Every structure is written in structure tokens, then in C-alpha cells.
């Protein structure tokens, strides 16, 4: 199994630690996979290309969905959270969305 | 003095076997009956040899010497003296490895069978370690840039991890049950299928209460992080003392983990 990062340039600069947030959600993700497809829904505050705030939660969805849009300084997003990709895999998805939208 | 010996054939290049034998802490960790390794103040290995209902436990200070075809591990303990001599003889398709173990000390008259087991299991460990090494290193240019990417990673700085991931690719994902002292075993198993010197291995338990990250270059641990309910321990390996601590930390990793392996894809 492979997961491309999609971008070879450096990652989005973060002022907060995205990994900590994902560790906090991990339990909900692994519990969720038994009932449906876990997704992370949330919003990130992106100012001048830097991510300065992040609020996230886990929701279940029937099918894999990915959606993001930008409104002012905030990027709102829903991304699939696949446990087999680990914390790092989910981070890479999140980083890509914020890189594209931010 | 009790002497026991064995000989095995290893189908791996002599260089791979020598690399295993020269990495003394890594090699000694894979010996049987080793219960603890300490790097503080020279390499010390605590070895517990069982026989009947007894256990002969001693801490040996290990010294290593080598010449063109033999490798000697000399262990001096408080109650005994243990010497292992490994001699290599290279043939066209394989290498003959002769191991001789001698022990003088407490319980030596009883320990014959245990010492025979000991030397045979060390032989098996050399074989497994040498044969699981990648046969050919990736081309030098890629290696040097991979080394550069890896050297910048410090687990106490999440952005250095992010930077590494942005230039990496996930090559393996799976649920692994890690037994006592088994993280090194798992790394060896994963290495067999992946052709990259630099590996980033990350694991997390189902409930998220325990997780680890380890960054390796060849058999060297460059950085390790272990987190559980008591908090997070992070080590960036810069000298031998750090290497010993990192090795200790690998032993805390036990249980069922979802494991992912990432390797650098090259390019900056």
C-alpha cells in the first residue's frame, strides 16, 4: 500500500502541533471504523499561509467524502480518516488540503 | 572453563555479516538470555542463564576486538568470564561462520547445555540479522540526500516531522503484535521488504493510549519517541549514551500496534 504526499515542496507552516490534535482524536477514529467511515471535520485558521488555529472532531459517514472551502481566514474541511494510514497519513491529507486552500 | 561451539553457513555477503558483528550493542541485544543492556560507561550486558531451577545472572562488561577474519567479544562479569569468538570464512556463494563460546565462573559445571543453546542461538541471530540486511544500498546520491532529510528530524519538534513527511511516502501499513523486546525484531522483519536505508516507523495502539515513532538509518536509531499515559519520552541520538537510552526505550514498545512505515522519496 502506498500513499503519495502529493507535493514535494515543504509542508504548510504550523504554529500549533497538528500531531497532538490527531493523537487526541485517534480513539474516536478507531472506534468509529467499526460503525462507519470515520471522517475528521473541522476548521483551521490560516493567516498569511501559516496555520494558527485548529478545531477538529470525528464524525461517521457512510461513504468516503472529502470537502474543503475557505471562508475568510478559516478553512473548513471534511477528510476521511483511515486508521491504516496512521496519524502521519491523516496529517498528510490535512496538510494537503490546507496547502491547497490556505 | 567450559567450551561450546557451533558452525553455520550464511548466504549473505561477508560485508553484511561484518556490519552486524561490528554493531556491538545491536548484536549483543540479539543474544539469548540477555535481559538488559547498558551503554553508560562502556557496554554492559546483564545475562541470565537458566539451568534446571537455577538462574545464573551476572553483568558482563563487554569488550570487542577484531582482526581480518575473527571477531572477539570478551565479557567480564562479577562472578564469571564469558568469551565469544566468531570466525568467518568466505566462499563463493556463502560464508562459513564458526562460533566458539567459553565460560569460566559460577555454575560452569552445570551450564554445558545452556552454553550450547547460547552459542547456537547467537549463530541463528547472526544469520537472521545478516540475511535480513538489504543486499545493495541505494545509489549514493539518493542516500546522501536521504541522510540529510533524516538528520533534520527531531521528534520534539513536530515541524521537523512534518517536513520529513512532505518528502516521504508510506510503504507499509499493518497491525503488528510486538512481543517483549520485539521492536528490534519487527524492524528487522520490515527491513527485509523495504529497500531504503532511512525508515520512519510509527505505531499506535487501537485506543491511542500508547504510541511510538522511530527514525532509523541502517541499523542505527536516529531518533525515537514513546508515549503512554505517563507522558512522552523523546530521544534524539547524538552519542553512544543516547544510543543506549534509545535501545532501552525500544523495549517499552509492547502489544498490538497499527504500524506504518515511511521512506524518503528523494528530491528537495
pLDDT tens-digit map of A21-34? 999 999 999 999 88
Chain B residues closer than 8 Å to A92 by CB: 165-166
d(CA A69, nearest CA chain B) in Å: 22
Query: What distances in angstroms separate CA A40 from CA A65, B36, B39, B47, B153, one per listed residue?
Result: 10, 42, 44, 49, 27
Whether residue B243 contacts residue B39, with contact meaning beta carbons closer than 8 Å, is answered with yes
10 Å CB burial of residue B78 (0-12, 13-18, 19+) is: exposed
Q: How many other CB atoms sit within 10 Å of the CB of residue B152?
A: 12
d(CA B252, nearest CA chain A) in Å: 19
Average pLDDT in chain B: 86
In this complex, the residue of A12, A24, A85 whose CB is nearest that of residue B173 is: A85
Q: Would you call B211 and A87 a contact, using CB atoms and an 8 Å cutoff?
A: yes
Higher pLDDT, B26 or A23: A23
Checking ipTM against 0.85, whether it exceeds it is no
Q: 3-state DSSP: chain B helix, strand, coil percent, rounded to 5?
A: 30, 45, 30
Q: How many other CB atoms sit within 10 Å of the CB of residue B46?
A: 15
Q: Would you call B170 and A88 a contact, using CB atoms and an 8 Å cutoff?
A: yes
Q: Would you call B166 and A5 a contact, using CB atoms and an 8 Å cutoff?
A: yes
Q: What is the pLDDT of residues B125-181, one digit of tens each?
A: 999 888 877 654 444 444 556 777 788 888 888 888 988 898 888 988 888 898 876
10 Å CB burial of residue A62 (0-12, 13-18, 19+) is: exposed
Q: Residue B232: closest CA among chain A residues belongs to which residue?
A: A20
Q: Residue B209: closest CA among chain A residues belongs to which residue?
A: A27
A48: phi > 0 → left, psi -120 to 50 → alpha, else beta; which?
A: left
Residue B173 forms contact with A (CB below 8 Å): yes
Query: What distances in angstroms separate CA B164 from CA B108, B201, B202, B232, B266, one per listed residue?
Result: 52, 12, 13, 20, 10
Residues B24-47, mean pLDDT to the nearest whole number: 87
Mutate to test the interface with B, among A88, A89, A99 (most CBs of B within 10 A): A88
What pLDDT score was predicted for residue B192? 79
| Domains present along chain B, CATH in parentheses | 2-132 (3.30.530.20), 140-264 (no CATH)
What pLDDT score was predicted for residue B193? 79
A6: confidence class by pLDDT, cuts 50, 70, 90: very low
Mutate to test the interface with A, among B153, B167, B170, B231 (most CBs of A within 10 A): B170
What pLDDT score was predicted for residue B145? 64
Q: Would you call B158 and A19 a contact, using CB atoms and an 8 Å cutoff?
A: yes
What pLDDT score was predicted for residue B141? 43
A·B CB contacts under 8 A: 90
Q: Would you call B165 and A20 a contact, using CB atoms and an 8 Å cutoff?
A: no
What pLDDT score was predicted for residue A14? 85
Instruction: DSSP letter for B238, please.
Output: -
Residue B160 forms contact with A (CB below 8 Å): no
Q: Would you call B173 and A19 a contact, using CB atoms and an 8 Å cutoff?
A: no
Q: Where are the domains of chain A?
A: 18-101
Residue B7 forms contact with A (CB below 8 Å): no
Mutate to test the interface with A, among B167, B169, B173, B231 (most CBs of A within 10 A): B173
Amino acid at each position: 500500500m502506498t500513499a503519495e504526499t502529493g507535493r514535494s515542496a515543504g509542508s504548510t507552516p504550523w504554529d500549533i502541533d497538528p500531531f497532538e490534535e490527531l493523537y487526541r482524536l485517534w480513539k474516536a477514529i478507531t472506534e468509529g471504523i467499526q460503525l462507519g467511515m470515520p471522517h475528521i471535520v473541522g476548521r483551521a485558521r490560516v493567516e498569511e499561509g501559516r496555520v494558527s488555529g485548529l478545531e477538529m472532531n470525528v464524525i461517521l459517514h457512510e461513504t468516503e467524502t472529502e470537502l474543503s472551502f475557505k471562508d475568510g481566514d478559516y478553512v473548513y474541511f471534511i477528510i476521511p480518516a483511515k486508521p491504516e494510514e496512521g496519524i502521519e497519513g491523516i496529517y498528510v491529507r490535512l496538510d494537503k488540503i490546507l496547502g491547497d486552500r490556505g | 572453563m567450559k567450551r561450546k561451539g557451533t558452525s553455520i553457513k550464511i548466504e549473505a555477503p561477508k560485508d553484511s555479516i561484518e556490519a552486524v558483528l561490528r554493531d556491538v550493542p545491536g548484536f549483543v541485544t540479539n543474544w539469548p538470555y540477555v535481559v538488559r543492556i547498558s551503554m553508560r560507561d562502556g557496554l554492559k550486558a546483564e545475562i541470565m542463564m537458566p539451568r534446571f531451577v537455577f538462574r545464573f545472572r551476572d553483568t558482563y562488561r563487554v569488550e570487542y576486538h577484531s582482526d581480518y577474519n575473527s571477531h572477539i567479544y570478551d565479557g567480564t562479569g562479577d562472578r564469571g568470564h564469558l568469551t565469544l569468538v566468531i570466525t568467518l570464512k568466505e566462499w563463493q556463494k556463502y560464508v562459513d561462520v564458526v562460533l566458539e563460546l567459553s565460560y569460566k565462573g559460577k555454575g560452569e559445571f552445570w551450564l554445558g547445555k545452556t552454553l550450547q543453546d547460547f552459542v547456537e542461538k547467537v549463530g541463528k541471530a547472526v544469520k537472521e540479522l545478516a540475511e535480513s540486511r538489504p543486499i545493495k544500498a541505494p545509489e549514493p546520491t539518493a542516500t546522501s540526500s536521504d541522510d540529510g532529510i533524516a538528520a533534520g528530524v527531531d521528534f520534539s519538534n513536530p515541524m521537523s516531522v512534518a517536513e520529513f513527511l512532505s518528502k516521504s511516502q508510506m510503504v507499509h501499513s499493518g497491525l503488528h503484535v510486538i512481543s517483549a523486546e520485539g521492536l528490534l525484531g519487527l524492524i528487522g522483519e520490515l527491513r527485509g521488504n523495504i529497500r531504503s536505508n532511512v525508515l520512519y516507523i510509527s505505531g499506535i495502539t487501537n485506543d491511542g493510549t500508547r504510541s511510538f515513532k522511530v527514525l532509523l538509518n541502517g541499523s542505527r536509531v536516529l531518533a525515537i519517541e514513546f508515549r503512554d499515559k505517563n507522558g512522552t519520552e523523546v530521544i534524539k541520538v547524538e552519542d553512544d549514551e543516547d544510543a543506549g537510552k534509545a535501545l532501552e526505550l525500544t523495549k517499552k514498545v509492547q502489544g498490538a500496534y497499527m504500524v506504518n512505515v515511511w521512506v524518503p522519496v528523494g528530491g528537495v
